[in-house]
Amino acid sequence: MVDAAEQLSTILAEHGPLGEDEIKRRLRAGGVADPDAVVYDALHMLNSPAGQLTDDRWVWLPTLLGGRVFTHRLEAPEVAHDMLTVLPDLGALTDLFEHEPYHRFADGAPVTVLMVDYDDELLEGDELRVETNSENRMDSALSTLKRLDAGVEILDDTREPVGDVRDLSDRFPGDDTDALDPDDPEVAAALDEYVREYETHWLDQPIPALDGYTPRQAADDPTRRGDLIKLLDSFPAGVGARGAMDVDRLRAALGLM
């Protein structure tokens, strides 16, 4: 049986950077039955240590970063708090830290990544709220917490995927013969509320395609604005965008109209 994940890592490590079409072609040639599913899970759901370049091609981060030496001048607060401040240009390092076996430094010390101005609100007394955008990331986060503190207690674990309007069906009771109508005012209102909430979060979320910058930061940076515009242009519009983020609303929020 073909190991699709291993095939993907080999393809990117030996031939990257590559565009998605070429990755799928090589996966298919290697005997992978459903290259689309592999690419979606590994790349778009961020379940592999791959990184996306500004031209949309993909690289294998362990290969890209292997053997490279990064220098960093420590500031007084970093020494005092035993931490490193990672600039957005080194975002590939923090992306790599999210995947096994890259959770530790060379001396065995565990890596903990916190985003300034984002993660401080997650700490509430002695409780930590963890939010992820995939099952694998949640499992990885919980595993890391238990490794750091064997006594950690999980108070609540809620997983609620919402991929499209059909995923809202569980929120509206009805027998199995009822079809969820996206034009139903209640359904449409719930979906619109979810999308708008996600848009607000996305505007201040570090984006790999923007080299770790948030959309707001990229909009304010002339050297990054072009990448942001290109990213927004790739989003679906019109009928194809139903149930997805409203790209015009995003442009307006970012001052790009």
Question: Which domains are assigned to the chain?
Answer: 4-65 (1.10.10), 76-148 (no CATH), 165-253 (no CATH)
**Quick one: which of 255, 256, 249, 201 has its CA closest to 230?**
256
pLDDT band at 91 (very low <50, low <70, confident <90, very high): low
Lowest mean pLDDT, pick from 1-5, 118-122, 197-201, 213-217: 118-122
How far is Cα 58 from Cα 77, in angstroms, rounded to an integer?
Answer: 35
58 within 8 A of 52, measured Cβ to Cβ: yes
CA distance 127 to 234: 39
- pLDDT tens digits, 93-130: 777 777 777 777 777 777 766 655 445 544 455 566 66
Question: What's the whole-model pTM score?
Answer: 0.44
Torsion of CA 148, 135, 195, 34, to 10 degrees: 140
Paired with 104 in beta bridges are 110
Per-residue pLDDT, 122? 46
Residue 6 above 80 pLDDT? yes
Q: Dihedral through CA 214, CA 218, CA 224, CA 225, nearest 10?
A: 130
Q: What is the pLDDT of residues 148-170, one digit of tens each?
A: 566 777 777 776 655 444 454 45
Cα–Cα distance measured from residue 25 to residue 124, given in angstroms and rounded to the nearest whole number: 48
Q: What is the pLDDT of residue 25?
A: 93
The structure tokens listed for 27 are 């996966």
What is the dihedral angle through the alpha carbons of 42, 47, 50, 52, rounded to the nearest 10 degrees? 80
